Amino acid sequence: MSATVTTLDKPRPAERSRFKETWRNLRRSPSGMIGLTILVTHLVIAVISPLIVPYEPTDIDASILLQSPSWEHPFGTDSFGRDGLSRVLMGGRIALVITLTAGVLAITWGGLLGIVLGFLGGVVDEVVMRVVDAMLSFPSLFIYLLVISALGSSDVILILVLSITNGISIIRIARAATLGFVARDFIAAARARGERTATVVLRELLPNVFDVLLVEYAMRWSWMLLSFSSLSFLGFGVTPPTPDWGLMIAENRRRLAIAPWGSIFPMLALGTLVIGINLAADALAKAMGLDRSQEAPI
Amino acid sequence: MLRLVTRRLLLSVLTLFIVSLLVFAGVELLPGDLATAFLGREATPTRVASLRAELGLDRPATERYLNWLGNVVQGDLGMSLARRKPIGDLIGLRMRNTLLLGLTAGLIGLPLALVLGIVAGLTRDRRPDLWISTISLIFMTLPQFVTATFLILLFAITWPIFPAVTIVPPDSPITDFLPNIALPVATLVFVMVAHNLRMVRTNVIDVMTSEYVQMATLKGVPRARVVLRHALPNALLPTINLVALYIAWLVSGVVIIEQVFNYPGIGTLMIQAVHDRDIPLVQAIILVFAGAYVVLNMGADLLVTILDPRLRSMRG
């Protein structure tokens, strides 16, 4: 039995060395390391910010309204006298938690469904892909707005809507990646052994398309951050007075002429985070030998 | 050729039909209905019941859908719940304003994207390409409202050249919008150029590295002629379709950009409708946007069919 196996596809190198190789490639990319550094800094700040903020981000102080940056308040204060630095440090937490959660949900259901469809093929695959194509021809912002106008907005609703719309795009990616493997010998061997569909999908196909899904997760994450902060900016995301970058930019935008720091610092925070994710994801795709698809973030 | 065009037209109608079904079924499948969503906290059993009766929500969903669709086809988009006015009247002038914004941005942005994309593609991995690609990556990844706010900060506050927000009412003559559309158009152009030039660049690189272009170069054809006669026609054709795909995304970009500049277009109306939980108005605007997208997409497909001799000779 072992003799026949060696004549089939080349066995994949062991997990550990593959991880090491990706990391070695990644370290050679300057833009990737810049992106990763920005990303890790943001994540660390998001985790420890409640411990390091100089003031309570929701504390109102009528004696220090709209103060320009100073030693006491390096990022100035807003029209309620709240400390800008504290609000910026805390302002990414909800966005990160919601988008990371929605991302995990989306990649799980979209990824698994995509692999199953690619593996099974047939009429079901045909029908589901037609529906997927119809949904993709439709800007997801409109789906968000339609659902919010019917149900209102809450964290749970946003997580669900983000994971559903993004999962639909992932089906396509996972299915396409799977199609590259279903005709290979090791899948034929698994079928010949009489493995159940679930086993083939989870043990044989999932490990092979995992790279593609990981890169897709990173890209989706940055697009979800864009969607979430846009919704937040439009007033459908986080409820005031909770600090959130999108909401802060919207709130302080009216005083852009007299207190521009209120918008500039959250803009810098949000901008560096999405650029950091994109740089890191691009470099990760290259390090894994994948060509990141130039897809529209709709 | 004629069959190809007919088929494309039918496909567009089918897409619009599916969108209308999704927009309608989407609201039906969610918990609650138009009446409870609109009344929100002010919902009392009697008020919900009377609004339901007024909207005819007691009738079966299929009947209401067919009714709604029939009216939409005849140009009647229904009544707005919050404004108590026919939706057609609310949308009309605002649609003109949004079109003004989109068309101006398209007229400036598309040629710019083509030129920059070709330059970047031809100077692949050298200095001009690196600059163009890096800057476009930044505009691609930044949220549109950040780009917009940044432009306001620079060109309305630091150097007060253009107005920051539009204070013109929706029904004023087009000439009144002229200084006002500068910054929203600039935002749209930045974002659109960033996306589209990358596609043009990829296509130019693909074609320039293809065998027939290398063959032409080896044969001693001058570079200018290789680029203009051999490479560009093939590189630019597929971008027409891709550009149409990005319009879907552009359409949602308009909603956010209009909101930033308080521009009296269809996008700001949509956001207000979502705040008011005015579902019929939201549905109608989505349909209008979907219609615009389908028409533009179809136009791009037909343009490619006309321009590409390989498709022209194909039967169906």
| pLDDT tens digits, A234-285 | 988 888 888 889 899 988 888 888 888 888 899 999 999 999 998 888 888 8
Quick check: A141 and B252 CB within 8 A? yes
Q: CB of A200 within 8 A of CB of A191?
A: yes
Cβ neighbours of A142 in B, within 8 Å: 252, 286, 289
| pLDDT value of residue A1 | 42
Low-confidence winner among A34-38, A167-171, A186-190 (lowest mean pLDDT): A186-190
Q: Is residue A196 part of a domain?
A: yes
pLDDT tens for each residue of B67-80: 888 888 887 777 78
CA closest to A223 among chain B residues: B141
Check: complex ipTM more than 0.90:
no
Pick among B39, B149, B152, B206 to test the A interface (most A CBs inside 10 A): B149
SS3 of A77, please?
strand
How confident is the model at residue B262, as a pLDDT? 86
As for how many domains chain A has, the answer is 1
Inter-chain contact A263–B289, Cβ cutoff 8 Å? no
Contact B158, A256 (CB under 8 A): no
Is B145–A230 a contact, with Cβ atoms under 8 angstroms apart?
Answer: yes
User: Is A254 a domain residue?
Assistant: yes
Q: Does B22 touch chain A (CB under 8 A)?
A: yes
pLDDT at A8: 52
* pLDDT given at position B276: 83
Q: Does the beta carbon of A147 lie under 8 angstroms from any beta carbon of chain B? A: yes
Q: Is A83 helix (H, G, I), strand (E, B) or coil?
A: strand
pLDDT digits (tens, 9 = 90+) for B39-67: 777 777 887 787 777 777 777 778 888 88
**Which residue bears the tokens 């002010």?**
B42
pLDDT at A101: 95
In a domain, A13, yes or no: no
Q: What is the pLDDT of residue B245?
A: 63
Contact list, B256 vs chain A (CB under 8 Å): 141, 230, 233-234
CB contact under 8 A, B141 and A222: yes
Residue A16 belongs to a domain: no
Instruction: Kindly determine whether residue B293 and residue A137, on different chains, have CB atoms separated by under 8 Å.
Output: yes
Of the candidates A167, A244, A69, A150, which has an alpha carbon nearest to the alpha carbon of residue B36? Answer: A150
pLDDT of residue A40: 93
Q: DSSP 3-state assignment of A244? A: coil
For A214-225, write each residue's pLDDT tens digit: 888 988 998 899
Cβ–Cβ below 8 Å for A257 and B157: yes
The residues with which A77 forms a beta bridge, in sequence order, are A83
Give me A162's structure tokens.
């983000």
Two structure tokens written together for B257: 């950009």
- State the Cα–Cα distance between residues A106 and A108, nearest whole angstrom: 5
Residues A215/A284, Cβ–Cβ less than 8 Å: yes
Question: Is A149 in the B-facing interface, judged by CB distances under 8 Å?
Answer: yes
Q: Give Rg (Cα) of chain A.
A: 23
A190 touches chain B (CB under 8 A): no
Per-residue pLDDT at A81 exceeds 50: yes
Share of chain A above pLDDT 70, in %: 92
Q: Does B152 touch chain A (CB under 8 A)?
A: yes
Q: Do B141 and A236 touch (CB under 8 A)?
A: no
Q: Is the pLDDT of residue B305 over 60?
A: yes
Query: Long-range contacts for B240-243 (Cβ within 8 Å, ≥24 apart)?
Result: B240/B300, B240/B303, B240/B304, B240/B307, B241/B300, B241/B301, B241/B304, B242/B196, B242/B199, B243/B110, B243/B196, B243/B199, B243/B300
Return the CATH number at A93: 1.10.3720.10
Q: What angle in degrees, to the nearest 10, is found between the helix axes of A261-287 and A206-234?
A: 170
Q: Which amino acid is at A220?
A: R
Is residue A20 in a domain? no
Residue A263 at interface with chain B, using a CB cutoff of 8 Å:
yes
- Mean pLDDT (whole number) for A59-63: 78
| Residue A3 in this model has a pLDDT that exceeds 50 | no
Q: Given a cut of 70, is residue B314 above it in pLDDT?
A: no
Query: Confidence band (pLDDT; 50, 70, 90) for A159?
Result: very high
The answer to whether A267 contacts B149, with C-beta atoms less than 8 Å apart, is yes
Alpha carbon distance B30, A148 (integer Å): 11
Helices B2-29 & B279-307, crossing angle to 10 degrees?
160
- Per-residue model confidence (pLDDT) at position A38: 93
Q: Chains A and B: how many Cβ contacts under 8 Å? A: 133
Average of per-residue pLDDT across B203-230: 83
B153:A256 CB<8 A: yes
Q: How far apart are CA B266 and CA A145, in angstroms?
A: 14
pLDDT at A134 over 80: no
**Average pLDDT for chain B:** 81
Of A135, A138, A267, the CB nearest to B150: A267
Distance from CA of A157 to the nearest CA of B (A): 11
What pLDDT band is residue B30 in, cutting at 50, 70 and 90? Answer: confident
Q: By the CB < 8 Å criterion, does A201 face chain B? A: no
B56 phi-psi bin (left φ>0, alpha ψ -120 to 50, beta other): left
pLDDT at residue A295 in the model: 43
Q: Do A234 and B143 touch (CB under 8 A)?
A: no
Instruction: Evaluate whether residue A130 is within a structural domain.
Output: yes
Distance separating alpha carbons of residues A42 and A90, to the nearest angstrom: 10
pLDDT value of position A104: 95
| Rounded CA separation A35/B6 (Å) | 49
Using CA coordinates, name the residue in chain A closest to B198.
A294
Q: Across A94-108, A120-134, B286-300, which has the greatest mean pLDDT?
A: A94-108
pLDDT at B263 over 70: yes
Let me know: does B246 contact B200? Beta carbons within 8 Å.
no
* Residue A217 belongs to a domain: yes
Spell out which residues of chain B touch residue A270, defining contact as CB-CB under 8 Å.
Answer: 143, 146
Token readout for A236 is: 């459908």
Which positions in chain A touch B141 (Cβ < 8 Å)? 222, 274-275, 278
CB contact under 8 A, B30 and A148: no
pLDDT surpassing 80 at residue B261: yes
Whole-number Å distance between alpha carbons of A295 and A282: 13
**Least confidently predicted of A204-208, B128-132, B135-139, B178-182:** B178-182
| pLDDT reported for residue B197 | 85
Task: Determine whether the interchain pair B260/A253 forms a contact, defined as Cβ–Cβ distance below 8 Å.
Answer: yes
* A278: nearest CA partner in chain B: B141
**Residue B236's pLDDT band (cuts 50, 70, 90):** confident
Does pLDDT of A22 surpass 90? Answer: no
- Across the range A92-110, mean pLDDT stands at 93
Residue B313 — very low, low, confident or very high, per pLDDT cuts 50/70/90? low
Determine, yes or no, domain membership for A197: yes
Q: What is the pLDDT of residue B315?
A: 46
User: B255 vs B44, which has greater pLDDT?
Assistant: B255
For A229, the domain range is: 26-49+74-289
